[in-house]
C-alpha cells in the first residue's frame, strides 16, 4: 500500500466519519467482585450505561436486539452482552474455531489507537471463543494471528432467556473478564481517568431471511466488513463508580 493511496483512503474515511460521528462510551470502575458466570446479576451491570448494536450500513434498528455494557477495575476489563435470539445457529465449540462463520458476538479493541493492529475476541452461544490479533493493511485486507491467546481471560455464557430494556425475551448472555496485561499497546495499564481507547462491538445473527450484521459503531461502506478500524468508537475510562440513577 503506497503512501499516496493511504492518504487518499484516510481522507475519505475522515469524511465518512463526519457524516456519521463516532460514538463514545464512558466505562466506569466497578466496585463489585464480578463473578464471571453469565448471570449478569451484579449491581454494576444493573446501572452501567448500555450500548445498542444497530445495522452495520446505516445505524438503523435491527430485527433482533443486542445490548452491551463495560466496566473495569485495576486488573481487568469486563464485558456483558444481552442477546435476543430465538434460535441458536452455532455448532463450533473449540477454542479458535472460525466462529465468524456462524452466529457470534465480537469485540475489537485498540488500546494504542493507531488503528493498524488490534485485539479481536468472539464468543458464541455454545461458549466457544476465538481470540486473535488483527493487522489492518487496506480496505478488505488484513492479517489475523490466531495463534495469539489472551492469557487469563475468562468468559461464561447463559442461554434460554435474557432481559433487554426491562422486557424478558428468548436469548443468551455472555460475561467476560480480560486482563489488562493483554492490551500491551495501551499507553497506561491499568488506564487512568480519561484515557481513551478505540473499540467496537459486533454481532452476526442468522435466524432471519438474511444474515444480520450489527455494530455499536456502524462500519458503513458498500459491503459489510467489521475490519474498518477507522470506524471504531471511543472508549473513555472513568476512575469513579457507575453513577446510580437519581431518586428524583
Q: What is the pLDDT of residues 73-107, one digit of tens each?
A: 999 999 999 999 999 999 999 999 999 999 999 99
Spatial distance between the Cα atoms of 42 and 150, rounded to a whole number of angstroms: 24
The full 3-state SS of the chain, as one line of letters, equals CCHHHHHHHHHHHHHHHHHCCCCEEEEEECCCCCCCCCCCCCHHHHHCCCEECEECCCCCCCCCCEEEEEEECCCEEEEEEEEECCCCCCCCCCCCCCHHHCCEEEEEEECCCCCCEEEEEEECCCCCEEEEEEEEEECCEEEEECCCCCCCCEEEEEEEEEEECCEEEEEEEEEEEEEHHHCCCCCCCCCCCCCEEEEEEEEEECCCCCCEEEECCCCCCCCCCCCCHHHCEEEEEEEEECCCCCCC
Distance of CA 41 to the CA centre of its chain: 20
Residue with cell 462491538: 201
Q: What is the pLDDT of residues 207-229, one digit of tens each?
A: 888 999 999 999 999 999 999 99
- Does pLDDT of 15 surpass 70? no
pTM here is 0.92
Amino acid at each position: 500500500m503506497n503512501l499516496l493511496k493511504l492518504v487518499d483512503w484516510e481522507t475519505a474515511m475522515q469524511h465518512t466519519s463526519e457524516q456519521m460521528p463516532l460514538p463514545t462510551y464512558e466505562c466506569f470502575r466497578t466496585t463489585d467482585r464480578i463473578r464471571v458466570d453469565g448471570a449478569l446479576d451484579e449491581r454494576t451491570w444493573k446501572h452501567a450505561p448500555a450500548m445498542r448494536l444497530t445495522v452495520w450500513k446505516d445505524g438503523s434498528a435491527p430485527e433482533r436486539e443486542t445490548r452491551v455494557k463495560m466496566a473495569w477495575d485495576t486488573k481487568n476489563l469486563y464485558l456483558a452482552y444481552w442477546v435476543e435470539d430465538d434460535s441458536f445457529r452455532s455448532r463450533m465449540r473449540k477454542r479458535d474455531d472460525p466462529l465468524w462463520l456462524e452466529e457470534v458476538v465480537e469485540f475489537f479493541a485498540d488500546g494504542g489507537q493507531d488503528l493498524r493492529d488490534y485485539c479481536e475476541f468472539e464468543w458464541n452461544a455454545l461458549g466457544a471463543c476465538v481470540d486473535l490479533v488483527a493487522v489492518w493493511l487496506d480496505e478488505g485486507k488484513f492479517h489475523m494471528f490466531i495463534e495469539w491467546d489472551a492469557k487469563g481471560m475468562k468468559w461464561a455464557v447463559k442461554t434460554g432467556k435474557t432481559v433487554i430494556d426491562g422486557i424478558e425475551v428468548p436469548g443468551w448472555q455472555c460475561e467476560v473478564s480480560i486482563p489488562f496485561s493483554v492490551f500491551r499497546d495501551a499507553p497506561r495499564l491499568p488506564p487512568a481517568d480519561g484515557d481513551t481507547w478505540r473499540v467496537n462491538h459486533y454481532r452476526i445473527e442468522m435466524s432471519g431471511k438474511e444474515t444480520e450484521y450489527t455494530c455499536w459503531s456502524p462500519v458503513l461502506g458498500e459491503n459489510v466488513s467489521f475490519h474498518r478500524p477507522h470506524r471504531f468508537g471511543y472508549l473513555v475510562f472513568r476512575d469513579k463508580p457507575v453513577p446510580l440513577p437519581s431518586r428524583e
